[in-house]
Structure 1
Amino acid sequence: MKIILSLISLIFLISIPIASADIVGKVTYVVDGDTVDINQTRIRFSLVDTPERGEAGYKEAKDFVKSLCLGKSAYVNLDDEQPRKSFGRVIGVITCDNRNVNEMLIINNLAKIRTEYCSVSEFYDESWANPCQECKRK
């Protein structure tokens, strides 16, 4: 009986989304190192910029995100100060396997911070977005 109750409790806890998640779903496609599809919604990683197709580091960044996220559940904390970017993409911080993927890209030197967006991002003061802290907010 204790085992059954423990399993029910575990299933309940796993099913509760992270409190800050605005979007919860499965990553079905990795577009590149800083863009994924979740629930048929294209999501751009806030403040993070990875190399574009044809540039050095493109494949490494994309493969890294695939290894962390593809086919797995993800949580997105939308950037409330810039809800949409060009191309109609939603912008946010992505969490896969309980890891902040935006931060992991920076830590692993697969991306850089787009400082021109620091003044319009709610995540400007996160530790992984350190270059933003040197910029002034508008």
Structure 2
Amino acid sequence: MKLVLASIGIAVIIGVIAISSILNTESEDESPVTSRVIEKEPERTEMKSAVVSEPDPPTQITSHHDKMENNCSGNARCFSGKVTSVIDGDTIRVNDHSIRLALSSAPELNDHLGQKARTLVDTICPVGSQALIDEDDGQTQGSYGRILAVVYCDDMNLNEELLDSGLGYLASEFCDDSEFASTKWAKKHGCQDSETQKIEVNSNCDSSYPDFCIPSSPPDLDCKDIPQKKFTVLPPDPHRFDGDKDGIGCES
């Protein structure tokens, strides 16, 4: 009986060991699989703040014409335009207007100086160039349908340039009327202000020279002694300004 019980005990122990071994094996085979969950990082979108820049203030552009028009004086017409033709030494056309130089005159084209004067005008104010027209406030009535004015081309005073060149002469008979008679260039070539004229009325003015007050001889004067050129000379011409006796003094 004891032997039987011992056998049964051994069998139970062996069974327990076997069961335990089986259980361990299953445990190892069924090791849990840990799934890796890869979390995708959210894309980082860099939000660049939109910088709204204020527009630059409009550039103030001063055109050449605007600058030129600052040269105008008085209240009469002042405008700029394109030179469309050069008629002669003292007349040009700008747009649809015929412009006669105020206080500045040139010989006719049949005179060799007249051709030279026209060439000078064409050089300073060539066809196609821009010109500024400053109408003479004292002569708004014009002359034979032409506007009497000072003409500027490329900031050059055409009236003055014509006189300075010696190819033109002062239209002195209009000094009393012209707005430009008191300008430096007009006075340089013979126009005198009212105060000077009043003084000269009482001075020794020779009647042979009605355009200006030129004192009688003595002293004897030559053309180089006076600023006036191409003026009216009447007999007896004590200073002999009119060498060729054509009624015009100091022509050269």
Shared topology, TM-score over 0.5? yes
- Percent identity over the alignment? 34
Q: In the TM superposition, what are the counterparts of 1:14-53 in structure 2 within 5 Å?
A: 14-16=64-66, 17-19=68-70, 20=72, 22-53=78-109
Name the residue aligned to 1:132.
191
In structure 1, distance between residues paired with 2:65 and 2:161 = 24
- Equivalent of residue 93 in structure 1, options 136, 139, 150: 150
| AA in 2 matched with 1:78 | E
The alignment's C-alpha RMSD in Å is 2.1
CA pair 100-80 structure 1, distance change in 2 beyond 3 A: same
Q: In structure 2, what is the Cα distance between the partners aligned to 1:68 and 1:75?
A: 13
C-alpha contact (below 8 Å) 2:100/2:149 kept by paired residues: yes
1:61 deviation in Å? 0.4
For residues 53-93 of structure 1, what are the alpha-carbon distances to aligned partners after superposition, in whole Å with 9 as ceiling and x for unaligned? 21230111001101111221000110011013332110000
Q: How many residues align?
A: 130
For residue 181 of structure 2, give the secondary structure of its aligned residue in structure 1.
coil
The letter for the 1-side match of 2:123 is S
The CA distance in 1 between the partners of 2:93 and 2:170, in whole Å, is 21
> Are positions 1:54 and 2:99 aligned together?
no
Q: What is the distance in 1 between the residues matched to 2:141 and 2:167?
A: 23
Shift of 1:18: 1.7
1:128 is displaced (CA, Å) by 1.3
How far apart are 1:13 and its partner, in Å?
Answer: 3.4
Q: Structure 1: how far apart are the matches of 2:105 and 2:117?
A: 10
Determine which structure has the larger strand proportion and give its number. Answer: 1
Unaligned ranges ≥5, structure 1: none
- Larger gyration radius, structure 1 or structure 2: 2
| Secondary structure at the counterpart of residue 28 of structure 1 | strand
List gaps (5 residues or longer) in structure 2.
1-55, 199-252
